[in-house]
Chain A
Amino acid sequence: MKGEIVVETRGLSMHFGGVVAVDQVDFNLRENELRCLIGPNGAGKSTFFKCLTGQLKPTFGDVVIRDLNVNRAHSHEIAGLGVGIKTQVPNVFEGLSVQENIWLAARRFHPAARARSLVEETLDRVRLTDIRREVVNELSHGQRQWVELGMVISAEPWLVLLDEPAAGMTHDEVLLTAELIREINKTASLIVVEHDMQFIRMIADKVTVFHRGAILIEDTMDVVAADPTVREVYLGHRKK
């Protein structure tokens, strides 16, 4: 709870025509914090991420990253600040090999030699060394998720946003992902969106619940899980 605030949104809103996907969100994230974001389908979590990374320009409100207002910034500029994001639908370079994917991310902000060693290091961390020459579009869903994770961490970001990183993974893969996330957290602040409650219990520190584009409650997992409104809107909603 100590570190300084690294991400702040003030009155952040995103409208799509008549749909209010994000509604006046005030949100803070501190240095080295690991925050989980949960909420029913369509709550606006992914849209919130897109506003943070410049993929969408907020209709109202501000996004401040390390005292810098990034409302008008482009995605690549925000990435240049040291922000990495894994999107909900895996976005990878489909026709390229695993190591080429990761090299492209590592090389962006590092000189060639450092990038090479980062690739080796990353392949090891995401356990893809054995299939490094394989073309990404031939891999399983879980492996593709890891390729994307690898791209995110190989750039050595200090802020990492993960949108449903464990979706579509087997139980073992989920455990490994949780471990990886805790490891990333040693050097970076994180926001993780997930639906899998067990997974969240594995990693969660503080949890923010989104509902209809707004923050419903923000507290530890135990408090959140015991909260009757959360149970109603979220747990009651979920089919799984």
Chain B
Amino acid sequence: MNRARENSWLILIGIVGAIFLIGAPQVLELFTIINLTTAIAMALLALSLGLVWGFGGILCFGQSTFFGIGAYAYVVAAINFGGTSWAVVVAILVAAAFAAVLGYFMFYGRVSDVYLGVITLTVSLIFYNLMRRTSGPEYKIGDALLGGFNGINAPPLNVPGNASWILFPEDVFYVAMAALIIGYFGCVWLVRSHFGRVAVAIRENELRAELVGYDVRLQKLLLFAVGGGIAGTAGVLFANGVGRVTPDVFNLYNAALIIIWVIVGGRGTLIGPVLGAFGLFYLISSLGQQTSINNNLVLGVILVVFVLLVPKGIVPTVIDLWDRKRGRRGQFRRHGRRQRRRGSRTAETRHEG
């Protein structure tokens, strides 16, 4: 995809996002809007992994860890502060900081990618086991009882600086959708910046990046922390959408979901994971009120099928097919351009001579 075409797609995405942001609460029922807030949180979570894995090549199977930490940190901080303004900031920072610490041990230990996936997954599962055991009254942080298996009720967002002015569910939807749009375009900006291009370079060839002078370990750590922060933000939105945070945010099913969104949507794109998350969210909802278990079967089959048959994911595959269909024409045009340039260059040299 060349830059001009990419830009026109971005404009389109921006327009669709804005219409959705403004229009959805006008036409949809409240129940759907609340559900959408949760779906948006999931999309933001998918975006964070799309950034870290798809662009940075960091195989993180436990993105749910930072998501869950963000959600818990938000709730605990909001209960203790008596307002949510700083709780949001704290939640994002705590999630990012935890990602940075974990990243330090993994990247500075030069753990290889397969190990990295399994370690991050394990960390998430340990959090799951841990939080489930916190049901007694002795497990509390400040005023917030952790509540073990049942989790904690999440205080809804309030207007910044005014803890008594609590947002309505529609308002929370606006906040969530705005966060997703900002997050998405922030990520687009990031992957186009020097930092993001280096991240891609490291994914392509770590040794060369190092020999050219980039500190690969630091670079990965920073990207991982940014991803952790975005996942933490998603956790905050999730807590608001669902109204409650339980240890299940850390569980294996959740960790798998995130991976599946990204695989289905496509690595190496940012819109792919977002669409993947929305798509699967509605697929699972439409499977009806069956127990979550048959969802396991469906998700497992989707994962296996995609890994075996569509390893690139939907969005990159569609782009490839599109390119191939228009391939002849495009190639011809590119070829023509090159010829022309070569011609003008010789003309220049002749002129100089």
Contact = CB atoms under 8 A, between A and B. Distances in A.
B204 interface: yes
B215 interface: yes
Nearest to B345: A129
Contact of A104 (B198, B207, B341): B198
Contacts of A87: 207, 211
Contacts of A148: 208
B330 to A, nearest CB: 13
A94 B206 CA distance: 11
A33 B221 CA distance: 39
Contacts of B212: 79, 104-105, 108, 151, 155
A99 B228 CA distance: 32
B133 interface: no
B149 to A, nearest CB: 46
A91 B213 contact: no
Contacts, number: 65
Nearest to A107: B194
A220 interface: no
Interface string A136-149: 00000000000010
A130 interface: yes
Contact of B211 (A75, A95, A109): A75
Contact of A108 (B204, B214, B338): B214
A80 interface: yes
Which of B200, B205, B342 has the largest count of A CB atoms less than 10 A from its CB? B205
A100 B342 contact: no
A151 B31 CA distance: 56
Interface in A31-79: 53, 55, 74-76, 79
A200 to B, nearest CB: 24
B210 interface: yes
Contacts of B214: 76, 108
Interface residues of B, number: 21
A93 interface: yes
A85 interface: yes
A79 B209 CA distance: 10
A92 interface: yes
A75 B207 CA distance: 9
B201 interface: yes
B213 A109 contact: yes
B53 to A, nearest CB: 15
B324 interface: no
B140 interface: no
A92 B205 contact: yes
Contact of A94 (B197, B205, B213, B345): B205
Contact of A96 (B201, B213, B216, B345): B201
Which of A104, A108, A151 has the largest count of B CB atoms less than 10 A from its CB? A104
B338 A95 contact: no
B205 to A, nearest CB: 5
Given A104-B201, A130-B338, A130-B341, A93 B208 contact: yes
B203 to A, nearest CB: 8
Contacts of B205: 91-94
Contacts of B197: 100, 103-104
B193 to A, nearest CB: 11
Interface string A154-189: 010000000000000000000000000000000000
A195 to B, nearest CB: 22
Contacts of B194: 107, 112
Interface residues of A, number: 29
Nearest to A137: B204
A105 B204 CA distance: 14
A105 B194 CA distance: 11
Nearest to A106: B212
B201 A93 contact: yes
B213 A74 contact: no
B218 to A, nearest CB: 9
B95 to A, nearest CB: 28
Contacts of A76: 210-211, 213-216
A166 to B, nearest CB: 19
Interface in A81-125: 84-85, 87, 91-96, 100, 103-105, 107-109, 112
B313 to A, nearest CB: 16
Contacts of B342: 130
A87 B211 CA distance: 9
A95 B200 CA distance: 9
A100 B198 CA distance: 10
A107 B209 CA distance: 12
Contacts of A84: 211
Contacts of B213: 76, 79-80, 105, 108-109, 155
Nearest to B338: A130
In the A-B complex, the 8 residue pairs with the smallest Cβ-Cβ separation, listed nearest first, are A79-B213, A93-B204, A91-B208, A75-B210, A108-B213, A105-B212, A76-B215, A104-B201
Interface of B: 194, 197-198, 200-201, 204-205, 207-216, 338, 341-342, 345
Given A91-B211, A95-B204, A107-B194, 20 more contacts: A55-B207, A74-B210, A74-B215, A75-B207, A79-B213, A84-B211, A87-B211, A91-B205, A93-B200, A93-B204, A94-B204, A100-B197, A104-B198, A104-B201, A104-B209, A105-B213, A108-B212, A108-B213, A130-B342, A151-B208
5 contacts: A76-B210, A76-B215, A104-B197, A151-B208, A155-B212
